Amino acid sequence: MTDLPANLQVNNILGVGNALFTSTAIDPGAEIFHVDRPLVSVLNQGHLKTACSNCFVWLPENGTDGGAIVQKSVGGRGKQQVKKLRACQGCKIVRYCSTERLQECQAQSWKAHHKRECKIFDKLYPKVLPNTVRIVMQLLLRRKAQDIPDAEWQNFLNLQSHLDDYRSASPKNDDGLTTYETIELMSRAVSTYSSSKEPLGFIQSVTSRVLINSLTLTTPTFDPLGLCVCTQAALLNHSCTPNTAITFSGPILSARSLGPIPPNTELTISYVDTTVNTTSRKSELRSRYFFTCACPACGNGLTNGLPDPGPDPTFDALSVRAIELQSKAASQQPEKAASLLNEALALLKAYPAHRQPHSAILHSAFLNALALQAWPPALTCATTAYFSIDPLHYQPDWHPVRVVRKWVLLRLVVQVAQLVSENGPSVRSLAGVDIDWQIVVRELLRQVEEGVARSHGVGSKFEQEVNVLGEGLRLPMGHGRLVNEEVVVRNIDELRHLASLEPE
């Protein structure tokens, strides 16, 4: 287990449990602690073919049995490396990355845990066990082999399980089962497939600990990949105004400060989406984590510092219909989905873009436009988020989510600039827009480069990726071109105009 820095202490808060405190002041955007690899991590079933099961590099183009070769920026500035994923020849379920690192990643994974699960996966192939079943089974198999030290195992067992709360909770999920009934089924599966001798009740307690304490494993740009349990990060309690954020760089988990943190302050993260209103946050926290949030934001009816709007039956009715359209769009082909999402956005156009579910539906429309390679509507959605949503929801301007969204906008503007220069048919509606796209690219790149050291850390994989793109962009743009600040502001203001347009 990675030891926590000396300035961090675990204190017990009456009625809450363990909490992590800092004894010293922490600067804004500083790394508070990092863990080289969480106690246990697994990929979602959908990413078993598109991500390495050891270093978690995500290569979406690898969704074929053979593993397509793709270009991926890695390592130092400007270096390109050919990577591909190859399936384990034993189970054919998990995959490992790259020609150069295949043996390294596969050997590390085999030694750490896969040698104990490979035969199980092979017998079940092509069926894949659910994430939680795989993560619990891996924990028990490793513990049985004494690969998890006593101290680290005890740290895991010290985490709250809320098994009694799950047992007494009556609401049923979409599958018609209560969460406790699901825990029972998953625990029986773990017991059967792993041939564990542990009592079923103990396996249920392990399963419930995983459910209540797991984090979403993501790429550095917050694309969800799977689940992980990190006993150090599990010490971070919830706040709707957190002072800490979690980022990943491959298997490395980092906790970073979102602002200046005074001495003797509890470190907190958010367990739920902080962009939804107080009532929704408190409801989700009660149903999923079994506590009533009493943080200052909830006490004062604030969402990211903004007062929650008063009762509005019209908005509530429109929101229900808009969410129904968004849900329906998720199961449609992109062309049909675009129509449904535009209909949903039209219902909410009289309300601020930062108010949920408006901003979530706008993000769905953005992703759908990218899938269609519909660059103008994608640009409209992204610029709306840049100007009207992110500055309100993600403070400060180097907030990890905000930097990532600037990065995505930067990549989109680079694509649009190239197509405009070629008079491409997909961007003809932008031909008459009075924007110097190169100036916009340069300004967005500056903002990302200035923010990434605080948002993700110096030397992180994300910073390396930003450096690679920055070096590639500066060559065609030229290093010596000086631009008056007023010209930059004018072009950014023109970009703001795009945010006022409705997605096509």
**Percent of the chain surpassing pLDDT 90:** 82
Predicted local distance difference test score (pLDDT) of residue 134: 98
Mean pLDDT of 475-499: 73
Torsions phi, psi for 266 (to 5 deg): -75, 140
Q: How far apart are CA 302 and CA 91, in angstroms?
A: 50
Q: How far apart are CA 39 and CA 410, in angstroms?
A: 35
| Confidence at 171, pLDDT banded by 50, 70, 90 | confident
| Confidence at 69, pLDDT banded by 50, 70, 90 | very low
Nearest to 433 by CA among 346, 504, 496, 484: 496
Q: How far apart are CA 239 and CA 302, in angstroms?
A: 12
Q: How far apart are CA 252 and CA 71, in angstroms?
A: 23
Q: Which of 154-163, 305-314, 408-417, 483-492 has the lowest mean pLDDT?
A: 483-492
Exposure string over 247-259, b if 16+ CB within 10 A, otherwise e: bbbbbbbbbbbbe
The separation between the first and the last C-alpha atoms of the chain, rounded to the nearest angstrom, is: 52
Torsions phi, psi for 348 (to 5 deg): -105, 5
Does residue 285 register a pLDDT over 60? yes
Predicted local distance difference test score (pLDDT) of residue 79: 44
Predicted local distance difference test score (pLDDT) of residue 431: 79
Predicted local distance difference test score (pLDDT) of residue 467: 95
What counts of helices (H) and strands (E) characterise the chain? 18, 17
Does residue 339 register a pLDDT over 90? yes
For 78, other C-beta atoms within 10 Å of its C-beta total 13
Between 453 and 494, name the one with better pLDDT.
453
Nearest to 216 by CA among 135, 279, 296, 153: 135
Q: Is the dihedral of CA 400, 401, 404, 406 positive or negative?
A: negative
Task: Report DSSP state, residue 48.
Answer: T
Question: pTM, whole model, 2 decimals?
Answer: 0.92
Q: Average pLDDT, whole number, for the chain?
A: 91
463 touches 453 (CB < 8 A) = yes
Mean pLDDT of 98-104: 64
For 107, 324, 348, the CA distances from 314, given in Å and listed in that order, are 58, 16, 10
Q: How far apart are CA 310 and CA 307, in angstroms?
A: 9
| Confidence at 73, pLDDT banded by 50, 70, 90 | very low
Does residue 446 register a pLDDT over 60? yes
